[in-house]
Amino acid sequence: MKYHATLLIELKDGILDPQGRAVEGVLKGLQYRAENVRVGRVLEMELQAASESEARATAHDIGKALANPVMEVFIVEAVKPLA
């Protein structure tokens, strides 16, 4: 069965995020009251798996492979079956 998975990869707290600071500056220039903007990555993927738990485990393994454990954290945000 196919599953859709969403994986979020973000910088750990305390890691300087220059891209987030730049976005925050632009937003403030546009008169938005945005603070502590952080920029991360969102990965959307389709996985072939026998069950939702297997798809979630595969997405977790992908996060471990792609995230830099020194600077980043990741979370499998959602896994849902595709019709």
Give the C-alpha separation, 6 to 61, whole Å.
13
56-71 pLDDT tens trace:
999 999 999 999 999 9
> What are the tens digits of pLDDT across the range 1-17?
999 999 999 999 999 99
Tokens of 46: 């389709």
At 61, list the tokens. 């393994």
- How many Å apart are CA 42 and CA 64, to the nearest integer? 14
H helix intervals, 1-83: 18-29, 52-66
Q: What is the pTM of this model?
A: 0.86
Specify the CATH number of the domain 2-81.
Answer: 3.30.1280.10
CA distance 58 to 60: 5
Distance separating alpha carbons of residues 83 and 67, to the nearest angstrom: 29
pLDDT of residue 83: 79
